[in-house]
Structure 1
Amino acid sequence: MGTAPAQLFPEFLVDTFGLPGVLGEVVASLIGAALVANIILAFSGIAGPWAKRKITAAFTDRIAVNRIGPFGLLIIPAAAVQLLAKELIIPEGVDRPTWDIAPILLPASAMLGFSVIPMGQIGPLNIHLADPEVGLALVFAFASIASVSLVMAGYASNNKYSLLGGLRAVAQNLAYEIPLIVTAMSVVVFAGTLQISGVVGAQTETLVTIAGFDIPAWFAFVNPFAFVLFLTANMAEIGRNPFDIPEAPTEIVGGYQTEYSSAYFVLFYLGEFVHIFLGGAILSVVFLGGASGPGPESISFIWFVVKVWGFFLFTQWARAAIPRVRIDQLIEIGWKGMLVLSFANLVLTAVIVGVIA
């Protein structure tokens, strides 16, 4: 099944309902944004209170939530009420409004990233809000705003543990975002475009046929070395084990979020999971063919869901199985290992593409 560029969702709404002029485009864009936001919020609502606990329990041979509702599913609304009902405690000496803005900025930055991610089709509906020519650069720019939020929270909290968490976030982001983007650029060299629909479209061909089975030309198969590099840097970018350094509870209490409670803590918790799903979405469109998969185009959204949830499952496996590295080890891996390997991969890719072309 190919993933040729389809009509964007806001354009579909304008044409279907005959929405007039600029106002119609704005209304269609807002409706589309609300749909995408609710999809991602639903993913995060399931992942945070329920799926994370059930998956970790399965990996560690324990029993997770199973008392509230069938399969423990009612823990989702119960946890929301529990957290939001807690008192919002504002410590003395915090730097406001920076302290207030930080928890809002974290989930908002990830939500913005989904504005350019093609999520596939549900019947005739193409769940894709915008497709700018520099879409891949734009999604990395949106995702990188998260580190600003963590620094703001750490600095404004008037707490040494929080400050350490914020500083660690900066160090980690600098060490791994460069290899992440450089590795993604090797895919751009293959695809010849920064437009996400073009990157996905370049992966719709058949790479090789084995025993009558077509292997798609996903960049994970074309360049598995780059895929492993990107996956590792992506884990550091979203702060998952073994790279959950900015909030390491055994060392710095809760890092940047130590002083946050109630709704503000919920926003940080939400932002963490939205960024995991954004990381999975980026990995999907860059290396796993986006929403492409067997079957008709009209069910491609299902394949997108499978891929991003597969990445979430991988992060939870890492959380249960891989010990956290020290901050000095994290920096050394990033600057001495990942950076060198990512540039080597980019140069080698450029040489191969140049020879083939």
Structure 2
Amino acid sequence: MNSVLLQTEVPLMPDQLVDLLGLDALGVAGDFVGALIGAVVIASIMLANAALAGPWAKRKITAAFTDRIAVNRVGPFGLFIIIADSVRLLSKELIIPEGADRPAYDIGPLLVVLSALGGFAVIPMGSLGPLNFQLADPEIGLVYVFAVASIASLGLVMCGYASDNKYSMLGGLRAVAQNLAYEIPLIVTAMSVVIFAGTLQLSEIVAAQQETLVTVAGFAIPTWFAFVNPFAFVLFLVANLAEVGRNPFDTPEAPTEIVAGYQTEYSSVYFVLIYLGEFVHIFLGGAIVAVVFLGGPDGPVLPGLFWMLIKMWAVFLFTQWARSAIPRVRIDQLIEIGWKGLLVLSFANLILTAVIVGVLAL
């Protein structure tokens, strides 16, 4: 388990790009160009993964769970369906509802995508060769990623309100109610990890999981917080399902009840933005799970970037299993699970973790 180095040992990606491209002489402008190139690289990686997950992997995985044949006609293994769907959706007419609140209608889909991509600015994605795929490493990295990711809720409300559609409005209100009910348990559960790690800095949280917890039959099990506190790990996974809007918590866009919720009145490129933002958010949730509980890019043999992507895809697979296997709950049941179930359990976990860490520190 040596694919992760402490942040103090490896410069951040923008600094590496500045040195690699010889931009030092440009001063602040050179730093800006290095940061911009790094942001484009990280965004391209995540958008490519989301594009693969949405039109192709989602269909293949769902078909496997339900014993059906998925896309297999367009290209090898049906992979060219990604291009076909992109052309099909982008070529559709963009229809704007007559009573739409145009500024909010236009901005909402952008917020959904940008909030997800913004979260990756502080995620330690690991290394590939000499490059360290992390743009920034602030001391409050965990707070930042939750704050930026929550902006998507504002985008969903704007989409629902601005569409001048009652079903869309209901979907937007459901999104707010759901995010309020599940973001608090999500953050409180993450705080139990902060108590263990003693920091909010994501690179240090990853570094705190590098020691060996126990050795079984010659195999070293690392101190990943999923092993140290499996109860918190399960709580976090459940709350993350609600945060990314996957079954049984997909009530904001429930097609059997409210057509498609907040995205009912969106077509063409705007629908693509919402759809893309949904999958980027799933991968952002997977990245947070990987960093907080699964050692981040830590893993044997393979470069850290590969391990990080593998763990994010594992979380994506879990969300797709939940989508295929678990029926949707009613909106009142959803709120009760959040406020009366997960919230209570997350605070109980936080208090118990604080007591254990306090006793061990004596």
Structure 2 length normalisation: TM-score? Answer: 0.97
The secondary structure found in structure 2 opposite 1:208 is strand
Equivalence map 1:124-135=2 (5 Å): 124-135=130-141
Cα distance, 1:300 vs structure 2: 1.0
Residue in 2 that maps onto 1:353: 357
Cα distance, 1:15 vs structure 2: 1.9
Which digits, 9 at most, give the CA deviation of each residue in 1:291-337, with x for residues without a partner? Answer: 001126xx111101110011111111111111001100000000001
Which digits, 9 at most, give the CA deviation of each residue in 1:221-247, with x for residues without a partner? Answer: 000000000000000001011100100
Moved more, 194-203 or 1-10: 1-10
The secondary structure found in structure 1 opposite 2:72 is coil
Q: Work out the CA distance in 2 between the residues paired with 1:157 and 1:91.
A: 7
**Counterpart AA for 1:347:** I
Cα distance, 1:17 vs structure 2: 2.5
- Picking from 254, 259, 266, the partner of 1:248 is 254
- Picking from 87, 108, 112, the partner of 2:118 is 112
Equivalence map 1:199-214=2 (5 Å): 199-214=205-220
**Counterpart AA for 1:356:** L
The secondary structure found in structure 2 opposite 1:215 is strand
Aligned residues: 355
Which digits, 9 at most, give the CA deviation of each residue in 1:64-117, with x for residues without a partner? Answer: 100001100110100000000000000110111100100111010000000000
The root-mean-square deviation of aligned C-alpha atoms, in Å, is: 0.7
Equivalence map 1:262-341=2 (5 Å): 262-295=268-301, 299-341=303-345
Cα distance, 1:7 vs structure 2: 1.3
Equivalence map 1:154-173=2 (5 Å): 154-173=160-179
Identity %: 74
Structure 1 length normalisation: TM-score? Answer: 0.98
Which digits, 9 at most, give the CA deviation of each residue in 1:7-34, with x for residues without a partner? Answer: 1110111122331310110000000000
Q: Work out the CA distance in 2 between the residues paired with 1:74 and 1:236.
A: 31
Which digits, 9 at most, give the CA deviation of each residue in 1:154-193, with x for residues without a partner? Answer: 1111100000000000100010000000000000000000
Q: Work out the CA distance in 1 between the residues paired with 2:200 and 2:324.
A: 35
Residue in 1 that maps onto 2:156: 150
**Counterpart AA for 1:306:** I
Q: Work out the CA distance in 2 between the residues paired with 1:13 and 1:69.
A: 36
**Counterpart AA for 1:106:** V
Q: Work out the CA distance in 1 between the residues paired with 2:96 and 2:301.
A: 53
**Counterpart AA for 2:55:** P
Residue in 1 that maps onto 2:224: 218
Cα distance, 1:121 vs structure 2: 0.7
Q: Work out the CA distance in 2 between the residues paired with 1:143 and 1:238.
A: 10
The secondary structure found in structure 2 opposite 1:209 is strand
Instruction: Check if 1:22 corresponds to 2:25.
Output: no
Q: Work out the CA distance in 1 between the residues paired with 2:191 and 2:169.
A: 33
The secondary structure found in structure 2 opposite 1:325 is coil
